[in-house]
Structure 1
C-alpha cells in the first residue's frame, strides 16, 4: 500500500510503507494472547490470501479458571467471560479489530482453533 506522507512544509513525499509478515504475525499473536488470556509464545499464526484480503488462522490454548473453583461457584464461568465457545467468538472479533486498526491491513476473517486450556490461577480470566 502506498500513500503520500505529509511533511512539515505541507508537501507530500511519495513512497511505500510495508509491514513485514513477521511484524503482522507478531501483532496477531499478541492480540490473540490478550484476547484468550495466554502467552503470545503459545499462539501459532498463519496467513493466507483470501481474494486479495488477508485471512488469519490461529491455533492457541485458552485460559480457564481452576475447575474446583467453578464447582464451588458456577457463576465464575460467567464472571470469566462465559463459555469457551462464547469467549472464542468474542476473541475473533477483538483480534480482527486490533490487527486491522494497528496494522492498517484489511482482514477478511479470523479462524481460531483452541488447542488446549491453561489454568488461570490468579484473579479472573480475561
Structure 2
C-alpha cells in the first residue's frame, strides 16, 4: 500500500510510505488473535483485491469455555461474550477497525472462517 507523505507545517513532503504485505498480515493476525482469544500464530490471513480496496480473509480458531462448565452453567457462555456466531460477527468489525486505524489501509471487508476451538479457562475476550 502506498500513501502520500503528510504535510509538515503546511508543506507537502515528496515521496511515499509503504506498508509491506507481511506487515499488514502480521497486524491482521494480531488483531484477529486479540479479538478471538487465540494465539496470532494460529491465525492465517490472506489478502485479495476488492475493486481497489483490500479484502481480508482469516482462518482461525476461537477460544471457548470448557464444555463441562457450560453444561453445569449455561451463563458461562456469556462470560466469553456470547455464542461463537455473535463473537465472530463482532470480531469482524473490531478487526476491520483495528487494521484500518493502525495501518491506514482501506479494507472493504473481513471474512472469518472458524477452523476450530481452543478451550480457555479465562473470561471475556476483548
TM value normalised by structure 2? 0.93
CA RMSD of aligned residues (A): 1.3
Secondary structure, aligned partner of 2:3 = coil
1:4 Cα deviation from its structure 2 partner: 3.7
In 1, Cα distance between the equivalents of 2:17 and 2:74? Answer: 50
Q: What are the residue-to-residue correspondences of 1:86-125 with 2, within 5 Å?
A: 86-121=86-121, 123-125=122-124
Secondary structure, aligned partner of 1:30 = helix
Which residue is 1:46 aligned to?
46
Secondary structure, aligned partner of 1:93 = helix
1:77 Cα deviation from its structure 2 partner: 0.6
Unaligned runs of 5+ in 1: none
Tell me the matched-pair count. 124
Q: What are the residue-to-residue correspondences of 1:66-81 with 2, within 5 Å?
A: 66-81=66-81
In 1, Cα distance between the equivalents of 2:48 and 2:62? Answer: 23
Unaligned runs of 5+ in 2: none
* Distance 1:2-1:83 versus aligned 2 partners, 3 A rule: closer
1:10 Cα deviation from its structure 2 partner: 5.5
* Distance 1:4-1:60 versus aligned 2 partners, 3 A rule: closer
